[in-house]
């Protein structure tokens, strides 16, 4: 979505008016962003904890598009459509990423338990980042703490929470930073790219709903520089940025292309 402010004229103003009206405002004007609209936007921003500058940028558009709509337990087609509109990409592209990351399953293993996968090698590096020697805790924790990636310790499903709780006993924040969370399996250490102030607030947001997980994924894709690749459906570049250098080994780019082709039909 284009960033707009007072004085702007264009189709985005009509969408802005529609969003504002859905949220209880009745701004004047046609397709011109008037000062009365700016005042209404500032009030909306204040009420939603946003920078109250009257400029409609990404985070304000995000709040406007999703607020005032009833959220279902599971993601609806409209949710993908709204985020795609916000990111100027295709809903099919977002659905492809979600399918590859969680096999098309939902964002929760159980109520209040977002889908996670705990990474012991990341926990090793996160402890070191905090000035804590991982070797000190390695004995007896070999299933959650190891220097190099391996998949042999994965339990899957709710079993991953057993591993997470074990790691939390060593260091809670580092443990949460070392798991991938939600429908889009975003690592906890990426909390700032998701617009969160801490790992704790990131985890709390992931626990809210599948819609919130979707919203955070949009921020992550945008802030992480992955959006152009997603828009262009350059799956090699997107997978390299989203999944890391091992993307080819796991054929993430191939899986993404296949999933996109399915949803684009």
Which domains, from first to last, does the chain contain? 11-69 (1.10.101)
Q: How far is CA 42 from CA 28, 60, 62, 76, in A?
A: 15, 10, 15, 29
- pLDDT tens-digit map of 82-133: 999 999 999 999 999 999 998 878 899 999 999 999 999 999 999 999 999 9
pLDDT for residue 29: 66
Per the CB < 8 A criterion, the answer to whether 71 and 211 are in contact is: yes
Q: Which of 217, 138, 204 is nearest to 173 (CA)?
A: 204
pLDDT for residue 179: 98
Q: How far is CA 100 from CA 18, 33, 247, in A?
A: 34, 41, 12
β-pair partners for 118? 179
Task: Name the stretches of the chain with pLDDT < 70.
Answer: 29, 71-72
> What pTM was estimated for this model as a whole?
0.93
């Amino acid at each position: 979505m284009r960033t707009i402010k007072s004085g702007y004229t264009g189709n985005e103003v009509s969408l802005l008016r529609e969003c504002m009206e859905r949220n209880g405002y009745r701004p004047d004007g046609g397709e011109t962003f008037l000062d009365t609209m700016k005042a209404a936007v500032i009030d909306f921003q204040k009420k939603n904890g946003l920078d109250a500058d009257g400029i409609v940028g990404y985070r304000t558009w995000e709040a406007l598009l999703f607020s005032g709509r009833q959220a279902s337990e599971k993601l609806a087609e409209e949710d993908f459509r709204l985020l795609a509109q916000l990111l100027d990409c295709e809903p099919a592209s977002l659905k492809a990423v979600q399918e590859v990351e969680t096999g098309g399953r939902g964002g929760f293993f159980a109520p209040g338990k977002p889908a996670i996968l705990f990474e012991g090698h990341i926990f090793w590096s996160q402890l070191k980042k905090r000035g804590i020697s991982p070797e000190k805790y390695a004995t007896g924790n070999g299933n959650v703490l190891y220097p190099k990636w391996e998949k042999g310790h994965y339990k899957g499903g709710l079993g991953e929470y057993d591993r997470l709780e074990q790691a939390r006993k060593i260091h809670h924040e580092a443990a949460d930073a070392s798991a991938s969370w939600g429908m889009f399996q975003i690592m906890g250490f990426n909390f700032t790219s998701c617009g969160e102030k801490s790992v704790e607030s990131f985890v709390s947001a992931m626990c809210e709903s599948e819609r919130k997980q979707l919203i955070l994924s949009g921020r992550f894709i945008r802030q992480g520089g992955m959006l152009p690749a997603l828009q262009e459906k350059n799956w090699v570049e997107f997978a390299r940025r989203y999944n890391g250098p091992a993307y080819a080994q796991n054929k993430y780019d191939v899986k993404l292309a296949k999933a996109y082709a399915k949803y684009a039909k």
